[in-house]
A and B are shown apart, each in its own frame.
Chain A
C-alpha cells in the first residue's frame, strides 16, 4: 500500500512538473501574471510529492518490505537500521529518486526564497527547472521504477554490497547530488537570462549563491568519496581517476570557474556571455556525469549495448538539454552586451586566465574519460586511460593555476600594475621558494614532486594570509584596529581567503603523501615486532594478538597491534578482514592512528601457509591535510554565501514588501 502511494505520488509529481514547465513559461512570454504565478505553488507541490515518494521508498526499506523488488534486491533484514535507510539510495532506482527529489528541493527553495526575483525571471527559472525535472521523472517512471512489486516475495533480501555498508559511502551520494543538481539552478537562471536577453549585475548576484551552494556540496561530496576510498580500499589510495570520480570532478572544476566569472559579471558587468556559457556547461557536465555513472557505458561498452534502454534515455535527455541550451545560446548570446572595460593586466584578466585553465583542465579530464570509448568505437583500438595519463596531462594546469592564483587574487579591478601588485607578495614568494629549496635539501632522493608541490602550497597559503593581512592593515595600525577591521571584513573576503588557503592545504597534503609515504609488507605472527620509518619518526609495530569477531552481519579476523615510538605506546590498532556471508564478499577494514602530521595505517591480510598473516603497514605523512583542505574550501564557500550583499538583497525585498502592504 505504502509503495503504491509512493508510486502514485511520483506520477503526480511528473504531471505537476509538466504543468510547471509549460504554464509559467507561456505566462512569461505573454505577460500573464496569473500564469506566471503558477510556478511557485507548482514547485512546492512538486517537491512535496517527490518527498512523499521518497519517504514511501525509505519506509519500504526500513520495514524490509521484500515484496518491493528493489528492497528485495538491495536490502536484508539483518542489516543495521542506518544502512537500511541509506540503502534507499544505494542502488540505481533509489539514487535516481534522490536525484529528482533534490532537483525538486532546489526548485522549491527558489520558489520560497525568490520573492526578490522579478516575476518574469522567476517564472522562467522555475519553468526550466521543471522541464529538467519532468525529463527525469519520466526516466524514473518508464525505465527505473523503484516501486515495482514482486508477485512472489522472497523470505529475505539479497543484501547490500558490503563495501557500501559504511558511513563514508552512505552519505557521499546525497552531498554529491546536492552539488550536481544544485548546478541545475544556475543552469535554469542562464537559460532564463538567454530567453530574456538580459544579464546584469543583479542576475549574477542571484546566480552566485546557488552556484556557491552547489560547489560547496560538491566539494564535500568529492572529499567524502576520496576519504572513503582512503580508509576502505585497503592501501590508502585517495584518488584513482576512475570514470565515476571524474564524473563528479568535472562539474566541480567548471563550477569553480563559474563562481569566479560570476564575480566579474557582478562587480564589473563584463564576461557575461562567457558566464552564461559556463553555467550551461556546469550542468551539462553534471548530466554527463550522471550518464557515465548510470549507464555504465564507460566501464563496459557491451553492458551498455546489451541493456541500452536507460543509457539511451539519459543520452536523449543529455542531447536535448545540452543541444537545446547551446542552440539558444548561439541565437541569443549576441544580445548580451558587456559594459565593463578592463586592461590586459587586471583582476578581470586574471580571472579569465583562471577560467581558461580550469576549462581546459576539465576538457583534458573529459577526453581522458571518454577516450577508451571513442577509440574502441571509431578506431577499433581497445585501450585504457588511467592515472598515469591524468597525472601527466592534468597536473600542469593546476600547477600554473596555483602559480598565478595569489598574484591574481591581490590585483585590483580594471587596471593593475604588476609591480605594485607583487609588492606585498615578494616576501611570500621568497619564503615559499626557500621552503621548497629546504625540502629539496632535506629529502633523500631527487624527485621534484615534494619541493615543487610544497613550495606551491606555501605560496598559496602564505599568499592568502598576506592578502588578508594587507586588508586588515596588520602591523600598519594598532592591533585593536586590526581586529576591528577583521571583524568588519566582508564575508566574501573571508570566503576567498579560506578557499584559497584550503586549496593550498590540499596541495600540501597531496605533495607530501605522494612524495614521502612509506610502506612495509611482510608476514607477521602474533608476538612479532617490526619497525617502519616515517619521514621524521620510527614507529615500532607490535603484533599482539589475532582473534575472531562476530559483527551484526559479518564475521571478521581482527589483528591487535600496538604502535610504539621510542618505547612509548601511542596507539592500539585493530585492523579487520571481514566476510559478509550473505554476499560472500570480503572487505578489509584498515585501522589508523590518525594524527596531524601523519597517519599510521595498518591492514591485516590473509593467513599464510607457513603461519602468520600478511600485514601491511604505512606511514602517510600529512594525509589528513588533503581532506582538511577540502573542508576549509567548503567553509570558504559557506562564508561567502553568508556575505552581507546577499542578505541585504533579501532584506531590501522584505522592506519593499512591507511598504507595499501599507
Chain B
C-alpha cells in the first residue's frame, strides 16, 4: 500500500528541469536550445529560467523552443516567437528599449555621477591643502619679515 502511494505520488510530481526525452539528438541544436532557455523565464516561478525549472509549463516552453529550432528558426526568431506568445514578461534580460533604458543606463550614469563627485571632492581637497590658514599666513609673514 505504501509502495503504491509512493509510486502514485512520484508519478504526480513535477518533472525535474531538462528531461532526457527532451534532449535533441543534434548536440549543436541542443546547445543552442540550452542557451536560449537560460534567458527565458518560467512564467509560474520566481525569476527562474525554464532550463532550471521543475514546472510543467517550463517543460512545455522547453519543448516549444526545441520545436522551433528543429524547424530551422534562428535563436532570435525563437525568442521573438516566445515573446510574441507570452509577452515581454518571459524575458529574463529586459530589452533595452523605451522605459527600460532607465534600467540599463542606471549603472553607467550613476558611475559617471559618483566618479565626477569623487574627483570634484579630491580637487577641492587639494585646494584646501594648498591654501594657508590665516594663522599660518600670519606666521609665514612673521618668518619672512624677519
Contact = CB atoms under 8 A, between A and B. Distances in A.
B110 A555 contact: no
Contacts of B114: 356, 359-360
B66 interface: no
Interface string A346-369: 000100110010011101100110
Nearest to A400: B111
B9 A586 contact: yes
B15 A605 contact: yes
Interface in B67-108: 87-94, 98-100, 103-104, 106-107
A521 B16 CA distance: 11
B10 interface: yes
Interface string B39-57: 1010000111100101000
B49 A235 contact: no
A387 B121 CA distance: 35
A392 B93 contact: yes
Interface string B1-15: 011011101110111
A367 B106 contact: yes
Interface in B1-42: 2-3, 5-7, 9-11, 13-21, 23, 38-39, 41
A341 interface: yes
A60 interface: no
Contacts of B126: 341, 343-344
A383 B17 contact: no
A616 B51 CA distance: 13
B17 to A, nearest CB: 6
B48 to A, nearest CB: 7
B27 to A, nearest CB: 12
Contacts of A606: 10-11, 13, 15-16
A360 B110 contact: yes
Interface string A243-264: 1000000000000000000000
A381 B102 CA distance: 13
A597 interface: no
Nearest to B128: A341
Contacts of A382: 87-89
A385 B92 contact: yes
A388 B104 CA distance: 12
B136 interface: no
Chain A interface size range: 35 or more
Contact of A381 (B16, B90, B99, B110): B99
Given A234-B16, A235-B52, A388-B39, A363 B3 contact: no
A601 to B, nearest CB: 13
A242 B47 contact: yes
B39 A353 contact: no
A605 B17 CA distance: 9
B116 to A, nearest CB: 10
Given A389-B93, A389-B94, A522-B20, A299 B46 contact: yes
B1 to A, nearest CB: 12
A363 B49 contact: no
A368 B103 CA distance: 7
Nearest to B39: A388
Q: Categorize the interface residue count of chain B.
A: 35 or more
B129 interface: yes
A523 interface: yes
A588 B16 contact: yes
A360 B16 contact: no
B132 interface: no
Contacts of B46: 242, 299
B140 interface: no
B41 A363 contact: no
A338 B98 CA distance: 43
Nearest to B20: A523
A361 B110 CA distance: 9
Contacts of A353: 118
B90 to A, nearest CB: 7
A356 B115 contact: yes
Given A352-B118, A521-B19, A579-B6, A384 B39 contact: no
A603 B54 CA distance: 13
Contact of B103 (A341, A385, A387, A397): A385
B89 A384 contact: yes
Given A356-B115, A364-B110, A375-B100, A383 B6 contact: no
Given A383-B94, A384-B91, A388-B92, A521 B23 contact: yes
A651 interface: no
A171 interface: no
B39 to A, nearest CB: 5
A235 B17 CA distance: 8
Closest 6 A/B residue pairs (Cβ): A386-B92, A388-B93, A586-B13, A364-B107, A341-B129, A379-B99
Interface of B: 2-3, 5-7, 9-11, 13-21, 23, 38-39, 41, 46-49, 52, 54, 87-94, 98-100, 103-104, 106-107, 110-111, 114-115, 118, 121-122, 125-126, 128-129
Given A341-B129, A382-B88, A555-B6, 15 more contacts: A240-B47, A242-B47, A341-B125, A353-B118, A371-B103, A383-B89, A384-B94, A386-B47, A387-B38, A387-B49, A388-B38, A389-B103, A548-B3, A579-B13, A608-B21
15 contacts: A349-B122, A352-B122, A360-B110, A361-B107, A371-B100, A381-B100, A384-B89, A384-B94, A385-B47, A389-B92, A523-B20, A555-B5, A579-B10, A586-B10, A616-B16
